[in-house]
Structure 1
Amino acid sequence: MVHGGRILIVDDHPVVRRGLRTMLEGEPWVSEVFEAATVAEAVTLAVTERVEVIAMDVTLPDGDGVDATGRILLSCPEAKVLMLTMANDEEIVVRALRAGARGYLLKDTDPDAVIDALRTVAQGGVVLGPGIGPSVLASLNRAPAELPAPFNQLTARERDILGRLALGDTNARIARHFGLSEKTIRNQLSGIFAKLGVADRVQAALLARDIGLGG
């Protein structure tokens, strides 16, 4: 039995946070529950409150829950993160697990199963929802290819976005694919263009295709 669990719920929907909080506060292994609605709040609370378990959404107003997971685990390596999201995308699952998440569940999972998953993660286990196929595990076992400069300056998320750009996707389609806002994608692309030293999406797409991204 786990005791003294300090839990952080990261979600921009108050109803989701409140519902999960109500269930968690009735669990004997939970000592305190904190809430965050943004990446910034999540990183701050995780560090200052020394939380042990985090239920993390992927799509947040100021960024990406996967990137937030990586930032939190750099400062709090003992924290256990369970991704709890509507984003049913194997690429995001792989990114989340590579970032250090201990599990990935969709929000339409039965609420009792979500609480069980958080308890399992708190005990050091790993939880993957029933929709997570063997291809995800195969992707995890493959070492990421080393990219030439300047592409090696890009984060995993930036490489993913650039790959979609190279396929000809619009900002709107890229945003839908990753469960992010178009504004977030525009900001990410500006950063990508700066790192690659290009002026626009056409130049970025051509360079990406030259090295096989989006092929």
Structure 2
Amino acid sequence: MTAEGARGGAVRVLIVDDHPVVRRGLRTMLEGETWVDGVLEAATCAEAVGIASTEPVGVVAMDVALPDGDGVEATRRIVQGRPETRVLMVTMTDDEDVVGRALRAGARGYVLKDTDPDVIVDALRTVAGGGLVLGPRVGPQMLTSLRRQPVELPPPFDRLTPRERDILRRLAGGDTNARIARHFGLSEKTVRNQLSAVFAKLGVADRVQAALLARDAGLTG
């Protein structure tokens, strides 16, 4: 079964919060939604990552402060393992640094727990459908700030230089060395040398393996 669930486009929701009352309240609201195929619960980072890796979860409502760690790091691990799973942070923390870390870790939205419950449910539905949501009291300047900051890439892609990442994106998009060279105004020999460095850093043998790895990571042009 995919993350879209059994009921034509409906998704499973995972609620991650260490307070049973919070989980129960959100579950009660979600179970009446036609777009929800089921609700799962987790009280810790470890439980959340474990469930998300084994169950077809479409969207996660993730708290930040959890007993065994940081919900932002749990989000990073979930998204890296299951890129199709969308995460909405639902927390009391409105610190902009935390908001930024969460979005750079792969969260698709951020709302505060004291937001109207109907708004939280709508935010989860929007995120599940591929949208991005920032709650009414989350600084609107956050998206602008994020656009100015470099994207944190997972290993081994974080070892590549900006030019090597650009070349890899073109390769993953199907460009030949000649087309890559023309696009960047380089010689084909330079492109070949750059790709050799890319292959070595990624630990792959050829352009096919590099392209597949890049596509799996969403690193395409």
TM exceeds 0.5? yes
**Distance of 2:142 and 2:22 partners within structure 1:** 27
Deviations 1:35-91 (A, max 9, x none): 000000000000111201000000000000000000001110000100000001111
TM superposition shift of 1:139: 2.2
TM superposition shift of 1:144: 4.4
**Distance of 2:117 and 2:92 partners within structure 1:** 14
**Distance of 2:144 and 2:40 partners within structure 1:** 35
Residue in structure 1 matching 2:112, options 95, 106, 109: 106
Does the alignment pair 1:71 with 2:77? yes
Which residue of the partner structure matches residue 27 of structure 1? 33
Which residue of the partner structure matches residue 131 of structure 2? 125
- TM-score w.r.t. the length of structure 2 is 0.63
Residue in structure 1 matching 2:145, options 131, 136, 139: 139
Bigger Rg over Cα: 2
Q: 1:64 to 1:136 in 2, by over 3 A?
A: same
**Distance of 1:6 and 1:59 partners within structure 2:** 23
TM superposition shift of 1:137: 2.0
- TM-score w.r.t. the length of structure 1 is 0.65
Aligned length: 148
Q: Which has the higher contact order (CA 8 A, sep 6+)?
A: 1
**Distance of 1:127 and 1:71 partners within structure 2:** 20
The root-mean-square deviation of aligned C-alpha atoms, in Å, is 2.2
Which residue of the partner structure matches residue 60 of structure 2? 54
Q: 1:14 to 1:121 in 2, by over 3 A?
A: same
Gaps of 5+ in 2: 1-7, 153-157, 159-221
